Amino acid sequence: MSDILTSVEGKVLRLRLNRPKAIHALNSGMCVAILDALTAAERDAGVEAVVIDHAEGRGFCAGGDIRMLAESGAGDGVDARAFFHLEYQMNHRLFTFAKPTVVFMDGITMGGGVGIAGPCRYRVATENTRLAMPETGIGLFPDVGGGWYLSRLPGRMGAFLALTGHRLDGAECVALGLATHYLESARLDEAKARIAAEPQHVAAILDAVASPPPAAKVLDYRETIDRLFAGDSVEGIIAALEADGGDWAAAQLAILRTKSPQSMKVSLRLVEEGAHMATFEDEMRQEYAVASHVVQRHDFIEGVRALIVDKDNAPKWNPASVESVSDHLIDQIFAPLPDGEAWTPAQEA
């Protein structure tokens, strides 16, 4: 059985992620299959829209093939860079795709799952949606366009989500603009069937079957987040949390204490610079350079060991403290790659 189920229903190309035991985590073959299907759909006048969802299982997409990336990063990094290059081409193709794209984020939507969902024109959340970019916990950073999406959230929400890896529910995704519609999961099949029948009316169909989302709990902390995550450095944010004295600040501080200091600094810079990127292509080019450097550094290999392989949840970060992560180190991680090694978009159809 293929890891991507591809079919044409009426005038709709349907792409279904199909690795249920891995919560549909992406591998290179899945990225190739999606890219190829999008290329064919772009050329096919009979395809008017694209619908992306998942087959059986409890989530839309839990991320990428992290074990492979860490194993490659511990060696020459060639396979890891090849995966990132391909995945980012898929992200970019979705971002620039001319026909309407609809994604159903029913369940876990993290890392690489956000990379698929974020570029889609219509992004449907449900009561089951749990969206996050939790990469600082494994020594990585919110890639696949995270610098672009998070930097465009209101106030300091992007910095908060990038550093803490906080999980958003479906209502919160809608409130922050990460989702365009909120549907009860019981109505998903109806929505997909109606879109297949009338793909030229995607927006009207989703509007008709959508439900008013519950209150977005994260907005209760909007002013607090804007105040405590206002610093332009991780040190400044930690100092603000320490000085606050409240329970919520203490909880966030405890979360940040578990994260890779290097990754937090990389992630904050990514969000700051993402706001000024002229195009999504520019964002992908920068994230690929950063990923190419980070994937071979100690913290990513150690983070995967501690949280995914050995599961002792006791990573030994190096540098061990935020203060020990120099600006020079971060500059090295953000250094552009030579022209022959830099990321490039997939060829257009």
Active-site residue (options: 135, 283, 287, 302): 135
- Any catalytic annotation for residue 112? yes
**Structure tokens given for 200:** 């030229």
Backbone region of residue 152 per phi and psi (left: phi > 0; alpha: psi in -120 to 50; beta: other values): alpha
Q: Which residues have a Cβ under 8 Å from the Cβ of 124 and sit 6 or more positions away?
A: 102, 103, 104, 105, 106, 179, 180, 181, 182, 183, 188, 191, 206
If we measure between CA atoms, which residue out of 281, 274, 282, 231 comes closest to residue 252? 231
Rg of the chain over Cα atoms, rounded to whole angstroms, equals 20
- The CA distance from 329 to 124, in Å, is 39
Paired with 247 in beta bridges are none
Helices and strands counted in the chain (H then E): 16, 10
Closest CA to 117 of 90, 155, 83: 90
Which residue among 64, 111, 146, 303 is the active-site one? 64
∠ CA(59), CA(64), CA(67), 5° rounding? 115
- Tokens 């977005």 map to which residue? 216
| β-bridge pairing 12-17 and 4-9 | antiparallel
281 classed as catalytic: no
For residue 299, which of 271, 269, 258, 336 has the smallest C-alpha distance? 258
Given 73, 107, 111, 112, the catalytic residue: 112
For the question of residue 236 being annotated catalytic, the response is no
The active-site residue, picked from 87, 143, 169, 302, is 143
CB-based contacts of 294, cutoff 8 Å, min separation 6? 139, 140, 141, 262, 263, 266, 300, 333
304: CB partners within 8 A, 6+ apart: 66, 67, 69, 70, 138, 139
Task: Indicate if 143 belongs to the active site.
Answer: yes
Q: Would you name the residues annotated as active-site residues?
A: 64, 112, 135, 143
